[in-house]
Amino acid sequence: MQDAVLHPPQAAPAHYEHFRLAPLTGALGAEIVGVSLANLSDAAFREIERAIADHLVLAFRDQSLEPVDQITFARRFGIVEPWPYARPMDGYPELTELVSEAGDINNFGGSWHTDSSTFAKPPAYTLLYCVTAPPVGGDTSFANQYLAWSTLPDDVRAALDGLRLEHSTARGFGDHSRSRGSTAVTSTPVSVPPGHEDLVSIHPVARTHPVTGHKALYVNSGFSSNFEGRTESESRPLMNALAAHGSIPEFTCRIRWQPGTLVIWDNRCTLHYAHNDYRGHPRIMRRAVVAGERPV
């Protein structure tokens, strides 16, 4: 049985002058209403920066964003990087369209993961905008990795602190996405370019957030392959246990998509999972990622 948990800003959110904020769960996440991201003042943006640091995931409803609006908003957080594993949106190299057609069996992002942890400097933020949503299903769940770290037993944290983990592109995408023989398993085919097929980056098991100073568990079932100096078979039992711990329900929130919803999340302290429960209906999203720093 999981002990009671609470991420304090969820219970006592700050007051904001430029919008209204409603926490989603006791673990993380908030919905924001009363602000237009296409016409955002500097003062309102500073409040959004404060809110994302507190709540980790923010959902903005009823937005009307052209691709250039999404890019402009994303650039306020930092450098917006093209994602090299899928064809960019026509005319907008910083955006990736994530398209699921009605006949797709697989979906994009259908495992608990943090975006591109295989990179030496993984993205700090992801901004996902809903263009078309299924009538039901297609939600995204998020998990607070501050809570995942802080709720581990003291002796486990002591053993893990300073340990490092390899994150592997081959582990994340598998042979189906290798550039020498790419096979589309969704309507957004992933193709790993030459030079990335064997990409491995080594990051701490517990990373310290550069803004909050808090430690977060940085293990995910999507890309984590083995502990530094250990084989995958030696690493797998503990990795699986940590990944399962990081996604227990008490650490999560779940966002239902509607056209015009934009969600931004902090990859440095969250995991996310795209639910694949809408077969027979299309789902179209636009994604931008903001460059991050080397995890420490």
**Catalytic positions, written as ranges:** 113, 115, 272, 287
Residue 130 pairs in a beta bridge with 285
**Cα–Cα distance between 144 and 2 in angstroms, integer?**
15
**Cα–Cα distance between 67 and 45 in angstroms, integer?**
19
Which residue in the block uniquely carries the two structure tokens 């920066």? Answer: 49
Number of Cβ within 10 Å of residue 14's Cβ equals 11
**Among candidates 147, 133, 149, 135, which has minimal Cα distance to 257?**
133
**∠ at Cα 171 (229, 248), nearest 5°?**
90
Residue 200 pairs in a beta bridge with 168
Residues 6+ away with beta carbon under 8 Å from 202: 164, 165, 166, 167, 228
Token pair of 147 as six digits: 């809570």
3-state helix, strand, coil in the chain (%, to 5): 20, 25, 50
Residues 6+ away with beta carbon under 8 Å from 197: 169, 170, 178, 179
**Among candidates 86, 56, 8, 37, which has minimal Cα distance to 262?**
37
Q: Which helix (H) or strand (E) holds 155?
A: helix 154-160
